[in-house]
Amino acid sequence: MNEIKIEKMIYILRGHRVMLDTDLAELYNVPTKRLNEQVRRNLERFPEDFMFQLNQQELNTLMKQFPHDLEAWGGRRYLPIAFTECGVAMLSSVLNSPTSISVNITIMRTFVRLRSFLAMDNAFDERLTKLEVGTNKLFRVVFERLDEVDEKLSPKIDPTRKRIGLKK
């Protein structure tokens, strides 16, 4: 199973990284109808933070953002179901075939890799913010010193001389 392919099937919805039932069914090599059937039979395993059904607006937004997936969006009676990382993990207990087990392992590794990229990105942001604060202090000191030098030199310049540069 290709992790890059799986990565492209992970969307951000309602602040969560999710995978849609159609994509999961494709990966597990089962019809979407059967996957959702198994989920409905085991609803107690899938609380709201594990899965949710998209609303029409969310579906329309996805269709606009990913028009190359149009064949996956059409031909359905019901709106797609989105599974969070925990929901995908729970699917392995509902779909118990060798294919689903190996696919689930790959999906979990992809989620973990994405989480580590996010953690690295956050660490980079923190370092950049610290650098900005330090740089701002340094520039403030430099400009204060330049102002002091300007004040010391200004009295030595002939006051009748025409000033160049920005006028105050």
* Distance, CA of 107 to CA of 89 (rounded, Å): 9
**Predicted structure pTM score:** 0.59
For residue 86, which of 47, 36, 40, 39 has the smallest C-alpha distance?
A: 47
Residue 105, pLDDT score: 77
* 3-121 CATH pick, 3.10.260, 2.160.20, 2.20.28, 3.30.70: 3.10.260
Q: Round to whole Å and give the CA distance between 50 and 74.
A: 24
Per-residue pLDDT of the chain (168 residues; tens, 9 = 90+): 566 777 788 888 888 889 899 888 888 888 888 889 989 998 998 888 889 999 888 888 888 877 655 555 556 778 889 998 888 888 877 877 777 777 777 787 787 777 777 666 666 677 777 777 777 777 778 878 887 777 776 666 666 777 777 766
